[in-house]
Amino acid sequence: AILTCRPNSHPFPERILSLDQPAKVGRSVARCRQAHNNAIFDCKVLSRNHALLWYDNGKFYLQDTKSSNGTFVNNQRLSKGSEESPAQEVCSGDIVQFGVDVVENSRKVTHGCIVATLRLFLPDGKEAKASPSTAVVAPGGGSAISTQELYQLSQYLQEALHREQILQNKMATLPRVVSSTQEATENNWKAMIEEDRLLNRIETLEAQLVVCAKPTTDDKLREEITRLQEETGPLPELC
C-alpha cells in the first residue's frame, strides 16, 4: 500500500507499507517513531492507536480502533468518536483521512490532520480495483458519473485552488524580493567604492610618509608630494 500526501493534509513524505501483517496507523511516540515504511505520523490530532489497514483474501480493509478524532474514507466517517468501527473495505484511489483539523484557541494554532490518496497493490504487483461506487446519471441521459469520481473531482479542485493560492502568495512576495536584492546590490557596490577610496588614500599617505622621511628641502618635498598626488589620480566617486 502507498499513502501519498494531499495538499490539504498535515505534510508527510510518501509511505510504502507492507501488508503481510496489519499496518497500524497512529501518532508518533517515543517507542514508535514515524518512518518511510510505516503509517506512524508526527501529527497531534491522531491517536496513538488510531486505525488498522490490512489485506485478506484479495481485499483490503481499514478499521478505526477507537480513535478520538475519527477515520474517514472518501469523506465518510467509519465510526463515532472513541468507538471501534467495523472493517471497511477500501480500494485503490480512495481518499483516506485520519483525524480532523483541531484549532488550539489559546495559541490560535491549527493542527492539521492526515489526508492521503491510498494506492493498493495485490501480491502479484497489480494495482487493486477502484471503488465500486453508486453511479449518478447526468440530466438528459448523459454518461453516468460515480460518487467516487465526484468526490475525487472535488479533491482535485481543492488541490488546484490550493496551488493557485500558493502561486498568488509567491507573486505577492516577488516585488519585495526584487527590491531587497536591488538594495543589497547597491549597498555592495557602494562598499566596494568606499574600499577603493580608502585603499587609495592609504597608498598616498604611505608614499608621502616615505618622502617625508628622506632628507630634502621644503621645495623638493612639496614637488614630490604634488607628483604623488597626480600619479594616484582622482579618487573614485560614488554613483
pLDDT-above-90 percentage for the chain: 44
Residue 132 pLDDT exceeds 70: no
Bridge partners for 95 per DSSP:
117
Architecture of domain 2-123 in CATH? Sandwich (2.60)
Q: For the sheet containing 114-119, what is the strand order? A: 15-16, 2-5, 114-119, 95-98, 71-73, 76-77
Average the pLDDT over 15-19 and give the result: 96
Give the whole-angstrom CA distance, residue 109 versus residue 124: 45
Q: What is the mean pLDDT of the chain?
A: 84
DSSP assignments along 145-183, one per residue? EEHHHHHHHHHHHHHHHHHHHHHHHHHHHHHHHHHHHHH
Q: State if pTM tops 0.75.
A: no
Q: Give the Å distances, CA to CA, from 4 to 11, 65, 85, 96.
A: 10, 22, 23, 10
Nearest to 26 by CA among 61, 54, 76, 67: 67
pLDDT-above-70 percentage for the chain: 82
Give the whole-angstrom CA distance, residue 72 versus residue 210: 86
Note the pLDDT of residue 239: 45
Note the pLDDT of residue 137: 45
Q: How confident is the model at residue 232 (pLDDT cuts 50, 70, 90)?
A: low
Note the pLDDT of residue 61: 97
Give the whole-angstrom CA distance, residue 122 versus residue 128: 6
Q: How confident is the model at residue 226 (pLDDT cuts 50, 70, 90)?
A: confident
Contact 50, 23 (CB under 8 A): no
Give 159-203 pLDDT, tens digit per residue: 788 888 888 888 888 888 888 899 989 989 999 998 888 888 888
CA 37 to chain centre: 20
Average the pLDDT over 10-34 and give the result: 95
Average the pLDDT over 101-112 and give the result: 87
Give the highest mean pLDDT range of 57-61, 201-205, 223-227. 57-61
SS3 call for 219: helix
User: Where do the structural domains in the chain lie, given as residue ranges?
Assistant: 2-123, 156-222
Average the pLDDT over 82-92 and give the result: 93
Note the pLDDT of residue 238: 47
Q: How confident is the model at residue 33 (pLDDT cuts 50, 70, 90)?
A: very high
